[in-house]
A = this chain, B = another copy of it.
Amino acid sequence: MRSVMLHARRFGMQGHWRILAAKQPACCLRHRATVVAAAESGTAQAPPKPATGSIAAVQVLDEHTAPEKLQSISTLILDCDGVLWRGSEIIRNAPEALRVFRRDGKRLLFVTNNSSKSRVEYAAKFRSLGLEVSPDEIVSSSYCAAAYLKSVGFGANGSRTDKKVLLLGWTGVEQELRAADIPFIGGREFQLPAMDSMDAMKELQVDPDIGAVVVGWDPNFSYSRIVYASICLRELPGCVLVATNTDCADHIGGGRMMPGTGGLVRAVEVAAGTTAVNVAKGGEWLLPYLCRTYNLDPSRTAIIGDRMDTDILLGRQGGLFTCLPLTGVTTLERLQSLPPSERPNVVVGSVAKLAGLP
């Protein structure tokens, strides 16, 4: 905590606050203009005055002060990228932190918006980084897509068992749909003719049994896929649009960001004139599903995540205890620019601090 107070004061004294705020990554925001507007606002311009001002400084808890905050917590929902690892690099002492949480009797759920991998593929990634996790503890958005479809009648024994899915996505969702016995077309190897003329689009015949379009991260995303999806959504009665997540972009190291699934979802939404159900953090379906499936008591559940618009939003939606580690996309400056009522309950240097580790 001490180090942060010094940190904030230093910015104030040097008058650098505004520049730092304007340098915020725009990854999770719809428009860069929003960031500029925030930087231009009174809140961002005025240097924080921890001692006398009206805006309280963000307190960053350390390994001595953080663990007690989790005393009454029985379930931890952990985000992955930005919390346990960043790209392919493990966060310091993250494996040890998971061991401490388990030793203290806490149930762990790993909830990630990434749709590129299935639960089984994720478990392998956890193991490769030295993290001991079973597939049952992993709730990836690829899994959520299949779980959502089952909840609305797709798959064996469901009320829409005659319906199949059009997947604009990758192997993670493919595997989860197979595991859930939900028939689908599309996916990684979906070949379509070029849609470069009105005639091609007029003549396209879509599979009349499609009852849902799922959009996930899709490196083969194309105009032809948008055409096929929008025709299904506009012309097939009851066909619904499902987004594995709506994240805009992700850090991939070296200051570079890669396009997330959010833009692909928006392209299909606009073309089809409809709105997707977002089954990941940031949407409204996930938390009630988690509460139902894992019998969660919100008052004894904490979420640990690095994104305000997905992780902390999910926690705030459900009255969970919210913890933000500074190892991901959200900076201390960004948190400081928010009114205290919108900040996470706890800010820590890393997930390890919550376990009392350096």
Interface residues of A (CB under 8 A from B): 26-27, 29-33, 35, 87, 170, 194-196, 198, 201-202, 218-224, 226-227, 230-231, 234-235, 248-249, 252-260, 262-264, 266-275
Contacts and interface: CB of A to CB of B under 8 A. Distances in A.
Given A264-B267, A271-B263, A273-B32, A219 B230 contact: no
Nearest to A25: B273
Copies in the complex: 2
A26 B274 CA distance: 8
Given A26-B273, A223-B264, 13 more contacts: A30-B270, A198-B258, A202-B256, A220-B222, A221-B222, A221-B223, A226-B259, A226-B264, A230-B257, A234-B256, A234-B257, A259-B271, A263-B268
Going nearest first, the 7 A-B pairs with the smallest beta carbon separation are: A259-B271, A263-B270, A26-B273, A196-B219, A263-B267, A267-B267, A221-B223
Contacts of A272: 249
20 contacts: A27-B273, A32-B273, A32-B274, A170-B196, A196-B220, A202-B254, A202-B256, A222-B222, A235-B255, A248-B271, A249-B270, A249-B271, A249-B272, A249-B273, A259-B267, A263-B266, A263-B270, A264-B267, A266-B269, A266-B270
A194 B223 contact: no
Contacts of A255: 235
Q: Interface centre among A27, A32, A275, by most B CB within 10 Å?
A: A32
A256 B195 CA distance: 14
Contacts of A220: 196, 222-223
Nearest to A204: B256
B219 A256 contact: no
Nearest to A195: B219
- Chain B CB count within 10 A is highest, among A222, A256, A258, for A258
Nearest to A268: B263
B219 A273 contact: no
Contacts of A230: 249, 257, 259
Contact of A270 (B87, B198, B258, B262): B262
Nearest to A217: B223
Nearest to A188: B196
Given A194-B219, A223-B264, A264-B223, A256 B231 contact: yes
Nearest to A258: B201
